[in-house]
């Protein structure tokens, strides 16, 4: 066997190629796996072991070290999941004859409820973002940034898109007659998501501001294929940039920036739909969840709604 054929670095790349091809894993997923598996490889190297040679005890030692390094249980569980997948792959490919991770158990953790903004909180965010567009003394560039942020918020709250799906929307998503947009989500799977009137109006306002800036800066500038273009490598706004702008907006609107993120607004979308009587399967489809169990984390909202219905409407319920 040629030297280096089964080196940790090569096995990581083989594994990533497999999950990209067979599971449609995206760049963010691949980067997360690469980081977690490289961290394990570094530990094994110091222990004079490798993916091919590691036994269960050395893997237990790695989990213990993660605990000593102060990793949260959720992070330890994620890393354990990553190398469990790797060792199953090595077993399937007959690179190993056993699976040393099969009997390992992760840290016990309760599944926390997602942070959720109230409807009033979301309204406050949207109103503050809208007010920034009409701020006095704002120049064209500042109005465009405000219109973009307002558009991002309206579309996110109207659709529940993942932030990576949102920032990479094509320009065609803003067609005037569009009632639905096609979203390419995890695993390269497509789904249809409806737009409401508020989000369509926000898109129109944002595109008008974008055209105004183009006319001022370069009349012959070609339009980008992205709805939210940027000069970065991807060609569109990054997740991190939007998250920073959202936290700044939250602080300006009197909300705690720590409690506000694009993902929290996605949670708000799902929770508010369920609170108002939407079917869990419909919400699953809109969110792009493959498994209903992922959507069931929001059932606490349904449970609270059912309790309030019984309390308020049941004929034998205690009345004040």
Does residue 186 carry a catalytic annotation?
Answer: yes
Q: Which residue has the tokens 């970065």?
A: 232
Given 124, 263, 300, 305, which residue is catalytic? 263
Angle (CA) 15 19 21, round 5° = 115
| The pair of three-digit structure tokens given for residue 184, joined into one six-digit string | 């390419």
206 is catalytic: no
- The answer to whether 288 and 185 have CB atoms below 8 angstroms apart is yes
* 181 beta partners: 193
Whether 266 is catalytic is yes
Catalytic residue among 128, 266, 267, 272: 266
Q: Which of 79, 96, 162, 236 is catalytic?
A: 162
Q: Are 143 and 196 in contact (CB under 8 A)?
A: no
Q: Is 118 exposed, middle or buried (0-12, 13-18, 19+ CB in 10 A)?
A: exposed
272 among known catalytic residues: no
Q: Residue written as tokens 């049941």?
A: 314
Nearest by Cα to 167 from 108, 96, 77, 238:
238
Among residues 34, 124, 186, 239, the one annotated as catalytic is 186
Catalytic residue among 33, 62, 157, 298: 298
- Burial-class residue 307 by CB neighbours within 10 Å (0-12, 13-18, 19+): exposed
CA 68 from chain center: how many Å?
29
Task: Break the chain down into helix, strand, coil percent, rounded to 5.
Answer: 60, 5, 35
272: tokens are 């508010």
Report residue 252 CA to chain centroid gap: 24
> From the candidates 84, 289, 300, 305, which is the catalytic residue?
289
What residues are labeled active site? 162, 186, 263, 266, 289, 298
């Amino acid at each position: 066997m040629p030297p280096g054929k089964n080196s940790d670095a090569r096995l990581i790349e083989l594994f990533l190629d497999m999950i990209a091809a067979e599971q449609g894993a995206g760049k963010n997923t691949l980067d997360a796996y690469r980081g977690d598996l490289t961290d394990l490889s570094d530990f094994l190297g110091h222990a004079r072991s490798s993916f091919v040679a590691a036994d269960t005890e050395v893997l237990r030692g790695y989990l213990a070290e993660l605990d000593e390094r102060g990793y949260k249980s959720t992070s330890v569980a994620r890393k354990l999941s990553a190398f469990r997948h790797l060792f199953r792959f090595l077993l399937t490919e007959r690179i190993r004859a056993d699976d040393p991770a099969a009997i390992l158990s992760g840290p016990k953790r309760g599944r926390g409820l997602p942070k959720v903004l109230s409807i009033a909180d979301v309204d406050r965010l949207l109103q503050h973002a809208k007010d920034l567009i009409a701020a006095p003394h704002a120049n064209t560039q500042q109005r465009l940034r405000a219109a973009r942020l307002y558009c991002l918020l309206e579309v996110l709250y109207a659709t529940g898109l993942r932030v990576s799906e949102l920032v990479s929307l094509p320009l065609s998503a803003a067609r005037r007659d569009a009632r639905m947009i096609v979203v390419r989500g995890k695993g390269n799977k497509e789904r249809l998501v409806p737009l409401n009137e508020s989000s369509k109006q926000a898109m129109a306002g944002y595109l008008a501001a974008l055209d105004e800036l183009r006319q001022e800066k370069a009349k012959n500038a070609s339009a980008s294929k992205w709805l939210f273009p940027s000069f970065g490598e991807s060609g569109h706004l990054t997740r991190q940039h939007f998250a920073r702008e959202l936290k700044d907006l939250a602080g300006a609107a009197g909300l705690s920036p720590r409690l506000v993120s694009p993902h929290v607004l996605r949670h708000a979308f799902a929770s508010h739909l369920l609170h108002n009587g939407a079917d869990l399967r419909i919400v699953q489809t809109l969110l792009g969840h493959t498994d209903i169990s992922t959507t069931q984390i929001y059932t606490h909202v349904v449970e609270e709604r059912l309790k309030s219905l019984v309390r308020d409407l049941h004929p034998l319920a205690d009345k004040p």
